[in-house]
Amino acid sequence: MRYYFNRYFKLQNNQTTYDYIILGAGCAGLSLLMRLLHTPKLNNKKIVLIDKKSKTSNDRTWCFWENENGFFDSIVYKKWDKLSFESNVYSAPLTIAPYQYKMIRGIDFYNYCFDTINQQSNVEIIYDDIIEFSSKKIMLLNSEIVCDNAIVFNTTYKNLPQQKDKHYLLQHFKGKIIETAQHFFDPEKATLMDFRVHQNHGTAFVYIMPLSPTQALIEYTLFSSKLLIPEQYDIELNDYISNTLQLKNYIIIEEEFGVIPMTNAVFPSLQHGVHNIGTAGGQTKASTGYTFQFIQKQSASIVAQLVKNKKPFAPVSFFDKRFKLYDSTLLNILSNQHLDGATFFAQLYRRNTAAAIFKFLDNETSFIEELKIMNTVPRCLFTKIAIREMFK
């Protein structure tokens, strides 16, 4: 009752007419807004961006591969041309050309975007709690916005209700940027996956992103159905740094923690007339948890559609949906432990170039290229489970 009483006195009807309303100022919301502002046919549209608070901290790091200069290349913090794969059964440098592995820090991304946004007279930013929304009205804690004919994009994500015959894993990770007194790291080479950690909790690995000879981001990553207790992430990280890297003396500069859904459950792209984008719209790849580049592709596609005065989402062909089948198959194998994750990834990187795997994981391969990759993994197991997934 108190909530509705307070709203009675706080409510202010926002009568401004908008062309686009973006809910959430994270990666997806800001990526779409920046592309709108860089598109001559759309950069004068009236836009409102809504989030509960301003972005002032370095709350995350995005690492991804790319084979050209990307839309956000000017704020890439570090690039690597050399990667390695490590495990107890196979270790080797990876052939990644023509790709580079890149890192963007959250705070650099936010500052870059808001420096641009704050110069635009046609963009309004509202900081408030989003209570509920539809294509008709956005209800905020202290006001409401009537949408009129605005196109509404939502990036806010809540856990999906469990869907029958779907697979659910979490990619959860803790990372630390550490600094050593002496030169220890090769800043030109990063470790994409190091499986020389125990697999008792699920598919677990560490990656190392050296920033300088004395600094690196070291991140412990786990694919499992449940989170660990907070202290366990530190135990695993400290054990890896001390015993695997044989590094004893260092200081911690920064820490980060994150959880990414890995599921083949259906994320509705359109809900109550609102267009879901980013993770909320299914742009987190189910089999890997990679999101940043899929958000960039989706943002570019949406803007291209809007320029043509078409609906925001371009139709996906039946043939292109095959990548969902591949994701569901691998997710089934990992979530049901049909095959040890460390064994699978070691076999995959032993028998394929990293560049071929990156292209496949970007959903950009031809069917012939996909068959070549499939021939390098346990065929009988993957075929049997793929058929199962196909007929669900």
Give percent of the chain with pLDDT exceeding 70. Answer: 96
Residue 136: CA count within 13 A, CB half-sphere: 1
| Nearest residue to 370 via CA among 361, 355, 360 | 360
**Parallel/antiparallel/unpaired status of strands 144-146 and 13-14:** parallel
The CA-to-CA distance between both ends of the chain, in Å, stands at 45
The fold of 2-55+106-158+265-307 is FAD/NAD(P)-binding domain (3.50.50)
- The rounded distance, in Å, linking the Cα atoms of 72 and 104 is 9
Over residues 113-142, the pLDDT tens digits come to 999 999 999 999 999 999 999 999 999 999
- Helix axis angle for 106-117 and 27-37, nearest 10°, is 40
* pLDDT for residue 11 is more than 60: no
- The rounded distance, in Å, linking the Cα atoms of 110 and 11 is 29
42 SS3 class: coil
* pLDDT for residue 80 is more than 50: yes
Q: What is the pLDDT of residue 16?
A: 78
- In single-letter form, the type of residue at position 216 comes to A
Q: What is the pLDDT of residue 15?
A: 63
Q: What are residue 222's phi and psi, to 5 degrees?
A: -140, 135
Average pLDDT, rounded, for the chain: 93
Of the given ranges (186-190, 243-247, 370-374, 388-392), which has the lowest mean pLDDT?
Answer: 388-392
Element (H, E) at 342: helix 341-351
| Nearest residue to 296 via CA among 89, 39, 31, 33 | 31
Return the domain boundaries, the chain.
2-55+106-158+265-307, 61-103, 168-263, 319-390
Record the pTM: 0.92
Give percent of the chain with pLDDT exceeding 90. Answer: 88
Task: Average the pLDDT over 48-52 and give the result.
Answer: 97
* pLDDT for residue 319 is more than 70: yes
Identify whether the C-beta of residue 98 lies closer than 8 Å to the C-beta of residue 205.
Answer: no
| 337 — pLDDT class (breaks 50, 70, 90) | confident
Tokens 């570019």 correspond to what residue? 300
| 45 — pLDDT class (breaks 50, 70, 90) | very high
Cβ-Cβ contacts under 8 Å for 390 (sequence gap 6 or more):
325
Q: Is the peptide bond before 230 cis (omega within 30 degrees of 0)?
A: no
